[in-house]
Amino acid sequence: MATVLSVSGSPSASSRTNRLLRHLDVRLAAQGHEVIPLDVRGLPAEALLGADFGHPAIVEAAALFARADGVVVGTPVYKASYSGVLKALLDLLPQHALTGKTVLPLATGGSTAHVLAIDYALRPVLNSMGAAHIVQGWFTLDRDITAHEDGALTVAPGAAEGLAHVVDQFSAALGDARLHGPVLATAG
């Protein structure tokens, strides 16, 4: 099927956002997609903050975006926006790094007051980078994600159903794009 780049924009290795993305990677892989995880926090801080476009890790990250048919972008919400490490990476990618890509934006946060961060902060950036199709995103409350010591993850029923729906919608959109070519960019 399609190659999916699953980008965690969390600065923390033990974050709910990161664990949620890796949990969803399993669902996408079970649907036949090749899933490549990219944890932005693993990229060299000096390259991200120093805008080192030529750093080998940044060049490699850009190549992963170029290779992907679809991109899942997950971020915790801080101060009503996506994370700074995600912003730093997106700033270093080519302007049209998402051209022809199907994109699924996801966010996590402590309050429903941040639910619009996907549509008002993240979606415009993804759109400006040329995404062919940005499917409906999903915001998950931190309290709906439980990480267990054994590495397992439990998502509250309502949130789990919503996540399953948007992931399946993303997967279907990837299949459509591969069969019929990329769709025109969408505004929302």
Through-space distance between the first and last CA atoms of the chain, rounded to whole angstroms? 25
- How sure is the predictor about 29, in pLDDT bands with cuts at 50, 70 and 90? very high
CA torsion sign, 73 to 6 to 62 to 97? Answer: negative
Q: 76 near 13, Cβ under 8 Å?
A: no
From residue 33, give the alpha-carbon distance in Å to each of 46, 61, 157.
33, 19, 25
pTM for the full model? Answer: 0.92
Amino acid sitting at position 135? V
* Tens-digit pLDDT profile for residues 90-126: 999 999 999 999 999 999 999 998 999 999 999 999 9
Strand partners, 3: 34
Half-sphere exposure of 136 (CA within 13 A, CB side): 10
Residue (of 130, 139, 136) closest to 166 by Cα position: 136
Secondary structure of residue 31 in the 3-state scheme: coil
Q: What is the DSSP letter of 94?
A: -
Amino acid sitting at position 107? A
d(CA 39, CA 7): 6
* Tens-digit pLDDT profile for residues 133-184: 999 999 999 999 999 988 889 999 999 999 999 999 999 999 876 555 554 4
Structural domains of the chain, with CATH: 3-180 (3.40.50.360)
